[in-house]
């Protein structure tokens, strides 16, 4: 039996997974990584599927492998991965890894869970966030003194990520 058939059968059994955790900051519920794994791993095991979540080349990768195959062909596993952000603080990096593990696994399985924490979090952050731009590892709040000329000078430094550059260029429009 192919891994796709095994996953198809497993997904029929998984169904919708209940949110198991609360986020007091955003006053919402969400499905934690442990809750997701607890809900799906017994079903994956029943179908002889192995869940792995290694970090490879700066990416969190979620793999589901056919435990009955030797792993020598691409047909014996499926994966989803996300590149980790450049974070030096170990606690923040650990949080990003946990978050990425949860979302790559949920994405790979097409898991159905209510995601009210993400939408509320983005809305609240947008409401609280003051206009700013980042350049060369520094964040600048935009005030009356920060003109388009200052923003252009920051763009000219070439010491920023593509995401920072895109955000900064949007401030010039």
Walk along the chain (173 residues) and give the pLDDT tens digit of each residue.
889 999 999 998 888 887 877 777 777 778 888 888 998 999 999 999 999 999 999 999 999 999 998 766 667 889 999 999 998 899 999 999 999 999 999 989 888 765 554 554 455 444 455 566 555 556 656 654 556 666 666 667 666 677 777 776 776 66
Query: Do residues 82 and 156 both lie within one domain?
Result: no
For residues 34 and 113, membership in a common domain is answered with: yes
pTM: 0.61
Tokens 């949080």 identify what position?
A: 95
Out of 98, 122, 146, a domain closes at 122
What span, in angstroms and rounded, lies between the C-alpha atoms of 168 and 173?
10
* Shared domain check, 152 and 97: no
Same domain? 58 vs 10: yes
Burial class of residue 12 in the structure, from the number of CB atoms within 10 Å of its CB (0-12 exposed, 13-18 middle, 19+ buried): exposed
Domain that holds residue 32: 3-122
Same domain, 86 and 154: no
Do both 79 and 32 map to the same domain?
yes
């Amino acid at each position: 039996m192919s891994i796709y058939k095994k996953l198809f059968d497993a997904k029929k059994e998984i169904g919708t997974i209940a949110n198991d955790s609360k986020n007091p900051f955003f006053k919402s519920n969400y499905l934690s990584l442990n809750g997701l794994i607890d809900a799906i791993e017994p079903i994956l095991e029943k179908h002889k599927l192995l869940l792995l979540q290694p970090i490879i080349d700066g990416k969190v990768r979620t793999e589901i492998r056919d435990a009955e195959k030797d792993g020598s062909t691409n047909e014996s596993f499926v994966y989803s991965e996300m590149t980790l952000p450049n974070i030096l603080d170990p606690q923040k990096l650990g949080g990003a890894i946990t978050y990425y593990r949860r979302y790559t696994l949920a994405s790979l399985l097409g898991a159905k869970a209510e995601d009210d924490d993400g939408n509320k979090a983005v809305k609240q952050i947008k409401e609280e966030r003051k206009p700013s731009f980042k350049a060369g590892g520094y964040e600048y709040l935009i005030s009356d003194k920060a003109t388009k000329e200052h923003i252009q000078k920051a763009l000219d430094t070439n010491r920023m990520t593509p995401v920072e550059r895109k955000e900064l260029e949007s401030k010039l429009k």
